[in-house]
Amino acid sequence: MSKARTDDEGKLSHSLHDPDEHHTETYPVLVLGALGVVYGDIGTSPIYAFREALHAASTDGSLLRADVLGIVSMIFWALTLIVTVKYILFVLRADNDGEGGILSLMALARESYKSRPRLILGLGIVGASLFYGDAVITPAISVLSAIEGLEIITPAFTPYVVPITITILLTLFSVQRFGTARMAFFFGPITFAWFLALGFFGLWHLFDDLSVLAAVNPHYGFDYIVRNQGTAFATIGTVFLAVTGAEALYADLGHFGRRPIATAWMWIVFPCLLLNYFGQGAFVLAHGEAAKNPFFEMFPPWALLPMVLLATAATVIASQAVISGAYSLSRQAVQLNLLPRLRVQHTSEKQSGQVYLPRVNFLLGLVVVLLVLGFERSTNLAAAYGIAVTGNMLVTTTLLFIVMTRIWKWQFWAAALTTASFLIIDITFVGANLIKVIDGGWASLLVAILIVLIMSTWVKGSRQLQKKVGQGDVPLELISRKLAQSPPTIVPGTAVFLTGNPKGTPTALLHSLKHYNALHERNVILNVVTAPTPTVRKSDRMHIEPINDRFVQVTLTFGYMERPNVPRTLAIFKIAGWNFDIMTTSFFLARRSLKASPRSEMPYWQDKLFIALAHSASDATEYFQIPTGRVVEIGTQVTI
């Protein structure tokens, strides 16, 4: 009943306005909030990124001075080119009415084509699936790497690292149902303190060997690759860990706006990250034996325990941000008809974006705990981390090219040159991370592949079901005309029939006439559709088309970031002189019982998967927020 609108009338205007306009909070508050939510993931990368790059570079047992400078140089330029140039200067400008994220970018790109190419839909599905693959790794590696800092205090903590990590993660997932509003209040200040600590201790150790500043010269990075052709690819893959979390800048665009996100990066996050990475580099140059875990080794004894605790808090915040992102992405996917209806609980009366999806939370938490138990060490998880993020960034670059040429109206050569430079970087990192597949990268890829399978099955099955149902549809105009000529028994009140095809007669109406031979005084044929924009203006919310004295067609349009509330929306408008009264209105829904057909367009196993997904969908009554006491459900059987 909820599907993406594809007709020309359904196209809602899109403007490349400043995505900061809809925020009412003060600018400093938005910047502080962006620190806690947007930069939690990339902000915890210094704990393990530089360490893993050193380990990859020293597989032969030796670590040269030029190797350290080469690694620092590659991290510096990765942060500069991917985050500062690609995301801050370009991607953040590709807002879809102020909203960001891979599905928003996909919807924006598809909207520029009348034909709605399936290739772009496929790219969106792949990008979203890769996000889920990343979302299960981030909490596991972040919290595990922070708790491993206890081993620096005393090796006696080693047997307790995994149990403590799992306890923290289980607690984190168990409190999600209470909402993140209260926790979010502390996110910004704690993350701000984290970045200040990163910058302070990085600056402190920078003076251990100031020659590390020479790594700003990209020559050192290229020189490392040329000299170490055997290990260079593996090292590049670990260097990418320094920029994991960059996609959050775009995913959280709608929460904070472009300018606060850019300000937080340029003035706080970027300088502090650079100071810490260069400080770690200088520390290793001066104390080569500390290469095992330079992040925690470079703290003085008095600061070690406080920094472990602060790191743990920062990683929990990073995990919370990616969990919330998974909720938002899932809700968007449902609205865009990429997933079956999922139960959505709003956890804030003020912020509609704060939602909790029980099923997503359970599955995410289960996979995260299994990953910690299976990999046990953050070093092992590092092999699984990054491959999904690189794929997501590659999809983002591809869709950005479409936006540049079709919406921003750039000349083809300018868009091609710009995105080609990003593609070279993306493809290099994708290739470097592909070698991780055997060592653990299969974990995130397996999650992504399963999500692609589920989404593609749901999209294909929904189209097949719509086609099957449409073949037996009786034109609404024909039925309404016959009922006007030879009316059945008229009963008082209003009947609202929900349908996915406004031109056909709803199955519930046909069955009602067949069994009761009665018709209500007023009958509303209601179609709920999803626009390719995050929100919809009130003036575009409802489209009314009277048929005759008894029938009226109503189309309600909601953005993919909005939760449909059918009764409340109907109450706002007067439909053909009818003032909506919930106590005299009955909602009729058709509940379909699906069966697989040997002549289906999909393989038998995919038919069964689609039927299982359809059965798992949350109740339409709850999804559209219709009071259960006003609903009449009529069962039908459909063979697909």
Q: For residue 302, what is the domain's CATH number? A: 1.20.1740.10
Residue that terminates a domain, selected from 415, 437, 460: 460
Task: Give Cβ neighbours of residue 182 (< 8 Å, ≥ 6 apart).
Answer: none
Tell me the C-alpha to C-alpha distance, in Å, between residue 4 and each of 115, 476, 527, 614: 13, 22, 12, 18
- 433 is a domain residue: no
pTM over 0.85: no
Task: Give Cβ neighbours of residue 626 (< 8 Å, ≥ 6 apart).
Answer: 566, 567, 587, 620
Same domain, 450 and 561: no
- 468 is a domain residue: no
Q: Give residue 222's pLDDT.
A: 94
Q: Give residue 7's pLDDT.
A: 34
Task: Give Cβ neighbours of residue 504 (< 8 Å, ≥ 6 apart).
Answer: 470, 473, 474, 475, 476
- 494 is a domain residue: yes
Same domain, 418 and 480: no
Structure-token pair, residue 312: 């743990």
Q: Give residue 2's pLDDT.
A: 37
Same domain, 545 and 578: yes
Same domain, 413 and 487: no
Per the structure, the count of domains in the chain is: 2
Same domain, 505 and 456: no
Which residue carries 């500043």 as its tokens?
213
- 322 is a domain residue: yes
Which residue carries 């626009």 as its tokens?
531
Question: CB pairs under 8 A, 24+ apart, for 217-226?
Answer: 217/73, 218/73, 218/77, 219/73, 220/66, 220/69, 220/70, 220/72, 220/73, 221/70, 221/73, 221/74, 221/77, 223/66, 223/70, 224/57, 224/66, 224/67, 224/69, 224/70, 224/71, 224/73, 224/74, 225/70
Same domain, 224 and 306: yes
Q: Give residue 472's pLDDT.
A: 66
Domain that holds residue 624: 474-639
Same domain, 278 and 349: yes
Structure-token pair, residue 27: 């600018």
Residue that terminates a domain, selected from 399, 434, 460: 460
Same domain, 455 and 492: no
Q: Give residue 10's pLDDT.
A: 31
- 4 is a domain residue: no
Q: Give residue 18's pLDDT.
A: 44
Residue ranges of the chain with per-residue pLDDT less than 70: 1-25, 60-61, 179-185, 289-291, 346-354, 470, 472, 573-578
Q: Give residue 77's pLDDT.
A: 97
- 469 is a domain residue: no
Q: Give residue 577's pLDDT.
A: 62
Length of the chain: 640
Same domain, 495 and 456: no
* Residue 201 parent element (H or E): helix 181-206
Same domain, 179 and 276: yes
Single-letter code of the amino acid located at 479 = I
Structure-token pair, residue 331: 């809700």
- 157 is a domain residue: yes
Same domain, 456 and 480: no
- 432 is a domain residue: no
| Euclidean distance between CA atoms 446 and 134, whole angstroms | 11
Same domain, 356 and 382: yes
